[in-house]
Amino acid sequence: MMRSLFSSLPQKASPRTALIGTLLVLILGHACQSASIANLKTPGNGAVRLYGYEVVHAWPHDRGAYTQGLVFNDGKLIESTGQVGHSSLRRVELETGKVLQKVDVDAPYFAEGITLLKGKIYQLTWQQQLGFVYDAWTFEKIGEFHYLGEGWGLANDGQSLILSDGSNRIRFLDPGNFAVQKTIAVVDGKAPVNELNELEYVQGEIYANIWHADRIARIDPQNGAVVGWIELTGLLARGEVSDEEAVLNGIAYDETNGRLFVTGKLWPKLFEIRLTRK
């Protein structure tokens, strides 16, 4: 494009013409550089934006908690932890990481994602195709539900349960009868984005951890297009965890104050972060 634009310029241009040409080169060069950083195109959906982060605050987190789901509610965190024999639902004090309330999930279940909707907590299990429903305040189990395939992450948009299963597909379930209302395929451009894990619904978008990746996808819930990537490399310092499964997993959003929290499986810290444009 730049070559064709300037091929028509005379071989020996006047000083004024040369100056204009030089300015155009600089402007276009800067535009191209900006495009390569922030405007990765998704067909029909504009630019896929890249975000970095700033740490606003770091709090203690139980390094024994294999975090599978995370919710912020009424000043506290509600957390689902996994692994057979160690799975639980717990209420956690944000500032100290202290477990204030806990219900164990017995073997053979491996607990996964959770979400809070209209006074009920919904919790997935990994491979049993069974979910549990709890009263949000007492943690009393008040029901169960079934779904096909694996359970990974769970969120809600105020109306539907939003479920990931480790593929690039996200299902929307009716919380009344758990019937599938719709399914979206998550893609970055034309490439499927697989291993969608823990989910959170944030200001009209689905945020999704990618298993074993230090990044979060921001997804359009209408069509599955990735509209942004949050790059979180370096959030936890080297040496703070040693288990290869101690990966980024856990997103919670404080809707009242606009705060975004992230943590990981077996992480000793939970972070409030502020997004920055890259």
Domain hosting 97: range is 42-277
- For the segment 27-49, the average pLDDT, to the nearest whole number, is 42
169-188: per-residue pLDDT in tens? 999 999 999 999 999 999 99
For the chain, the DSSP string reads -HHHHHTTS-SS--HHHHHHHHHHHHHHHHHHHHHHHH-EE-TTS-EEEEEEEEEEEEEE--TT--EEEEEEETTEEEEEE-STTT-EEEEEETTT--EEEEEE--TT--EEEEEEETTEEEEEESSS-EEEEEETTT--EEEEEE-SS----EEE-SSSEEEE-SSSEEEEE-TTT--EEEEEE-EETTEE---EEEEEEETTEEEEEETTSSEEEEE-TTT-BEEEEEE-TTSSPTTS---TT--EEEEEEETTTTEEEEEETT-SEEEEEEEEE-
Same domain, 115 and 251: yes
Same domain, 22 and 118: no
Q: Which residue has the tokens 């004024």?
A: 16
Q: What is the mean pLDDT of the chain?
A: 86
pLDDT value at 44 more than 90? no
Which of 215, 99, 79 shows the shortest CA–CA distance to 154?
Answer: 79
Same domain, 136 and 211: yes
Same domain, 208 and 235: yes
Q: What are phi and psi of 2, to 5 degrees?
A: -65, -35
Same domain, 79 and 113: yes
pLDDT value at 23 more than 70? no
pLDDT value at 252 more than 70? yes
94-112: per-residue pLDDT in tens? 999 999 999 999 999 999 9
218-235: per-residue pLDDT in tens? 999 999 999 999 999 999
CATH number for the domain that contains residue 70? 2.130.10.10
Same domain, 83 and 151: yes
Same domain, 67 and 176: yes
What is the total count of domains within the chain?
Answer: 2
130-160: per-residue pLDDT in tens? 999 999 999 999 999 999 999 999 999 999 9
Same domain, 70 and 111: yes
Q: How confident is the model at residue 46 (pLDDT cuts 50, 70, 90)?
A: low
pLDDT of residue 162: 98
Same domain, 25 and 55: no
Same domain, 190 and 253: yes
pTM of the shown model: 0.82
CB 114 within 8 A of CB 146: no
